[in-house]
């Protein structure tokens, strides 16, 4: 497997993004971290360089819904680090509401951030990887992408299904090239998003979740459920559940 030295992580100021950054830093990787909350981002960068003085950590404030800036920031990261080996499309939003209940703005924001902004990040990353003729694109989707979901998950799951299909298409387009594409389907992992969501069955702790994410990313599979247990077996079950039972369980 290629040595991916320079790694971009979006949405890196907290949660899974910060957890992955800590583990990659411990492995000696250089990091390019971006998020909206620059105070948290700068604190994380200071922590990582203090603990691992042999690495480089560069940061940028970035709202991924500012699509032009996504391209600018990725190019700045490329220039500062001398190339990008891996881009992890991690920034996301989980504020959906049941469709038709008066919260279109929340569902629209969820869809725009989790699909359109993810498309911008994939475009920016692939433009660089095609020029370099190498790179690893990692798209953090969701277990909920496997089928339509009820209640607050409806728009979220639809957007994640879209980004999963996007990653699949990019993978097909770059087949037999040095560009690799990985889609991650995390189940419920402890984070600010799951904390605000309320119901979170089979919740995995933040540290175990980040460890499982990084382990999967380093293998560079086409697709992986995170953590593999229980979510890989459940991925088969969830597709077969009758809708009435799905509604009761989710």
The first and second tokens of residue 96, run together, are 């959906």
188 is catalytic: no
Which DSSP category does 64 fall into? T
Closest among 129, 54, 124 to 85, alpha carbons compared: 129
Closest among 43, 23, 152 to 88, alpha carbons compared: 23
- Which alpha helices (H) appear in 12-112, and where do they start and end? 15-26, 38-51, 67-81, 104-111
103, 105, 156, 188: the catalytic one is 156
Residue 10 zone, left/alpha/beta (φ > 0; ψ -120 to 50; rest) = beta
Q: Which sign does the torsion angle of CA 103, 106, 107, 109 carry?
A: positive
- Known catalytic residues are 156
């Amino acid at each position: 497997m290629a040595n991916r030295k320079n790694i971009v992580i979006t949405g890196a100021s907290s949660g899974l993004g910060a957890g992955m950054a800590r583990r990659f830093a411990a492995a000696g990787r250089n990091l390019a971290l971006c998020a909206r909350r620059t105070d948290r981002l700068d604190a994380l960068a200071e922590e990582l360089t203090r603990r691992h003085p042999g690495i480089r950590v560069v940061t940028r404030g970035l709202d991924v819904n500012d699509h032009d800036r996504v391209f600018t920031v990725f190019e700045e990261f490329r220039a500062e680090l001398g190339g990008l080996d891996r881009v992890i499309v991690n920034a996301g939003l989980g504020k959906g509401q049941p469709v038709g209940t008066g919260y279109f703005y929340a569902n629209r924001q969820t869809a725009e951030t989790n699909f359109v902004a993810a498309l911008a990040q994939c475009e920016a990353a692939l433009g660089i990887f095609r020029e370099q003729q190498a790179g690893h694109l990692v798209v953090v989707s969701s277990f909920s992408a496997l089928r339509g979901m009820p209640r607050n998950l409806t728009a979220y799951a639809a957007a994640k299904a879209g980004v999963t299909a996007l990653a699949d298409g990019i993978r097909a387009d770059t087949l037999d090239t040095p560009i690799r594409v990985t889609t991650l389907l995390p189940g419920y992992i402890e984070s600010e998003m799951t904390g605000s969501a309320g119901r979170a069955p089979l919740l995995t702790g933040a540290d175990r979740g980040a460890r499982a994410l990084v382990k999967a990313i380093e293998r560079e599979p086409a697709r992986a459920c995170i953590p593999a247990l229980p979510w890989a077996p459940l991925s088969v079950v969830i597709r077969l559940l009758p809708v009435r039972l799905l509604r009761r369980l989710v």
